Structure 1
Amino acid sequence: MTTSSWLRATARTIAIVLGLALGVSACTALPGDGPWMGGAQGTSTEALPFDVIDLTPTTVVGYRVQAVDKPSTTGSLSAGLRVSVAPGDTLKVRIFERYAGNIFPTVSTQASDLGVQRVAEDGTISVPFVGSVQVAGLDLPQIERRIVQQLGNKAQDPEVIVEFDTVRGQTVMVAGDVKKPGRISLLEGVRSVLDAINQAGGPNGIQGATSSANALQVVVRRQGQVILTIQFSDLLAGGDIPVQKNDEIVVRVNTRVYTVLGAVQKSGNVELSKHDLSLLEALGNVGGLADARANKTGVYVFRMGDLLTNPTARARVFRLDLFQPVSIFVAQQFGVQPRDVIYVTNAPLYEYDKALTAIYRTFSIIGIGRGTLPITTTF
């Protein structure tokens, strides 16, 4: 075989190998490293199925880390809970008079108890010497004053004491992922949703762990309507509200995660550790960018639109250039949300290095390298 023939054959082989190597490198680069972001580099997004937003000190204002929103219709937890009587409750009624010899005994007499009175379906109780008393919707002091009014001049300076015997209507239901699900009496100092959950033994397996608290959601239903949906960690952070009788409180697992892909130290799903997690903290949770291969001008956050409340909402891609010093402050302000995908692109030189490495390995496989030239030639 002549030298020229060998060179031509070798050239054809190299061309085939180069084509195969580049094809292999192109095919194997995408799944492990994420999408090619060249299509999002332009400023026009009319042809894209998402909006591209450059994160700057001006644009980040609308996406800053948000504090826990306190429900505006919660009322005041410090004002105390007003427990009103409902049908099915049973009450103990005692009436005293200041002087002996009248209808009712004096305070020093033990025979003042008029027995247990059950609140009828029409909201009334029947008190001896008083008659029918409408009590539904009233608290205990109001019932006492009403009985005094209805006694009129039948008693001299009467003292009326009304207490709960059993409370069927003065409860809230706590269900779901708690240690002791069931009905909780409002008469045991329960004023808020958090009080009720604590009275039920607290969430299963929480024991004060913040990470577990972020994985639980609390739903409060009142008269068949959901009035509050909140993460348990946000409830602890100030989102508590007062409860009313017959409220239903459900504690359920709702793990919130974000995903990190690309040129980072550790990719994968990461639990959203707190309500106000920033982009800088999210990157820190995975060890930061991989210095050897990360493109610091290509940090992206993919966020789906609000499909539940606004099905026509477009997805958004936020782009951050960490080569700019101000971007560190921007990353501290940008709030990460559940289901966000953070993607760090590879540096261009790293992509070229991958292609050359694939070519070298291919040459090594087929034996083309040093020492392959023929020793003798024939003309």
Structure 2
Amino acid sequence: MRKLVPIAFLVVLGACASPSDGPSATNIRNASLPNSNEKIPVVELADAPLGIMGATTMSYASNDAGLSSFRSGGYVDSRLRRGDVIDVTIFDTGEEGILSTTNSKTLNLGRFTVDESGFVTLPFVGRQRVMESSPEALQSRIVAGLKGSAVNPQAVVSVVEKPANGITVNGNVRAPGRFPLTARKERVLDAIALAGGASGAPGGTTVTIVRGKQRASASLDRIMNEDRQNVYLLPDDQVMIEGDSPSFMALGAFKSAGEFEFEKDKLTLAQALGRAGGLLDDRADARNFYVFRNQPVYSDAAFAKAGKNPGAPFVTSKPVIYRVNLKDVSNFALMQQFQVQDGDILYASNAGLVDAAKLITVFQKSVATAAAPPPGGGGN
């Protein structure tokens, strides 16, 4: 009868609480939100949305214009201003002109910078005021200045740099700095390329443009996939690149628990399980493997009712738990289609026998044992 007492005690104690690294399968099935007691849905993997379109939620609301709010046809002002650098080349097709003694009928005069007074000094034609002039107007003046020393002169003026009309690219790029805008009408992706490219993956990179008091953001992968997001840039635009690689957590009975970064839309649940090294054979309950997710929910109603910027997206989250039974072979195929999202928590629960063994160990340590007699403590 006495042998039944410790067993009964273990049963009662186990019903109250058992030592474990995390929640049990029963705890998870009965999980509820702390403030509302609303039960968190536990969805079997077979009933979960699969594939990239189903498993992932847009990182922006449907009415989020992103960078497309910057409407511009691009920078087209080619007038010369202080600090601009021009390249000048002259041609002479005659036999007795200034280039008659050379092997080529083309002569590159070099590059010239417009000084603070708005002038440039050119060979053969002298000092010219070019402030607010177009390259074409300067070409005509060069040709006029060459008359008399060339038979049929021609000139080409190209604007090489316009520092006053530049943009700034900062953040997670390989070569941040200030870059001039040219007649090619640079766009957002051009600016990122000028800065050496983004350091992170497109899915984890956010691009923000600041133009005066206006600011807008979009993910790099959205800009790459939506042409309207790849807007034209204007002088003094600030382009900021911020990297925040998606990550998931693996907790519980995994061989390699921890946080793991990944590229958005390119990691399946099967691959994530592999990243964590798989389940521990001597601890994990293969029938109860879970994915905890805070699903983003976008709503315009909350802002509209509050009178705060009606039409702006209001982002909330709704927890959901997906259960995976790895004893069911069909789930391995489903795991190859289920996409991991940023912030997901993978949890591998302990098998029931593991927690029971821990409880027995705790009980054994807590049982009082008779003190050993002190040395030399024999009778008098």
Is this contact kept in 1: 2:283–2:351, CA < 8 A?
yes
Distance 1:271 1:132 in 2: 53
Distance 1:82 1:195 in 2: 13
Q: Secondary structure at the match of 1:314?
A: strand
Which residue number in structure 2 is paired with residue 209 of structure 1? none
Stretch deviating more after TM superposition (262-271 or 163-172): 163-172
Answering whether residue 73 of structure 2 is matched by residue 85 of structure 1, we say no
Which residue number in structure 2 is paired with residue 256 of structure 1? 246
> Aligned pair in 2 of structure 1 residues 366, 68: CA closer, same or farther (>3 Å)?
closer
| Deviation of 1:27 (Å) | 5.4
Where does structure 2 lack aligned partners over 5 or more consecutive residues?
69-73, 95-104, 118-126, 141-146, 299-312, 371-380
TM-score by length of 2: 0.59
Which residue number in structure 2 is paired with residue 54 of structure 1? 44
> Aligned pair in 2 of structure 1 residues 339, 47: CA closer, same or farther (>3 Å)?
same
Aligned counterpart in structure 2 of residue 358 of structure 1, from 355, 362, 378: 362
Where does structure 1 lack aligned partners over 5 or more consecutive residues?
1-6, 76-80, 100-107, 121-127, 136-142, 149-154, 207-211, 369-379
Distance 2:346 2:289 in 1: 7
Is this contact kept in 2: 1:305–1:315, CA < 8 A?
yes
Is this contact kept in 1: 2:204–2:263, CA < 8 A?
no
Distance 2:4 2:357 in 1: 24
Which residue number in structure 1 is paired with residue 324 of structure 2? 320
Aligned counterpart in structure 2 of residue 287 of structure 1, from 271, 277, 281: 277
TM-score by length of 1: 0.59
| Deviation of 1:277 (Å) | 0.8
Distance 2:332 2:273 in 1: 11
Is this contact kept in 1: 2:293–2:345, CA < 8 A?
yes
| Deviation of 1:361 (Å) | 3.8
> Aligned pair in 2 of structure 1 residues 192, 340: CA closer, same or farther (>3 Å)?
same
| Deviation of 1:283 (Å) | 0.9
After TM superposition, the structure 1 = structure 2 runs for residues 299-314 of structure 1, keeping only pairs within 5 Å, are 299-306=289-296, 309-314=313-318
Which residue number in structure 1 is paired with residue 177 of structure 2? 182
**RMSD across aligned positions (CA):** 5.8
Which residue number in structure 2 is paired with residue 244 of structure 1? 233
% of aligned pairs identical?
Answer: 23
| Deviation of 1:248 (Å) | 2.5
Counterpart of 1:63 in structure 2: which amino acid? Answer: G
Is this contact kept in 2: 1:22–1:358, CA < 8 A?
no
| Deviation of 1:260 (Å) | 1.0
| Deviation of 1:327 (Å) | 0.9
After TM superposition, the structure 1 = structure 2 runs for residues 86-165 of structure 1, keeping only pairs within 5 Å, are 90=84, 144=136, 161-164=156-159
> Aligned pair in 2 of structure 1 residues 214, 195: CA closer, same or farther (>3 Å)?
closer
Distance 1:244 1:357 in 2: 68
Distance 1:44 1:21 in 2: 24
Which residue number in structure 2 is paired with residue 334 of structure 1? 338
Distance 1:58 1:91 in 2: 60
Distance 1:162 1:84 in 2: 15
Is this contact kept in 1: 2:295–2:319, CA < 8 A?
yes
Is this contact kept in 1: 2:203–2:219, CA < 8 A?
no
> Aligned pair in 2 of structure 1 residues 310, 292: CA closer, same or farther (>3 Å)?
farther
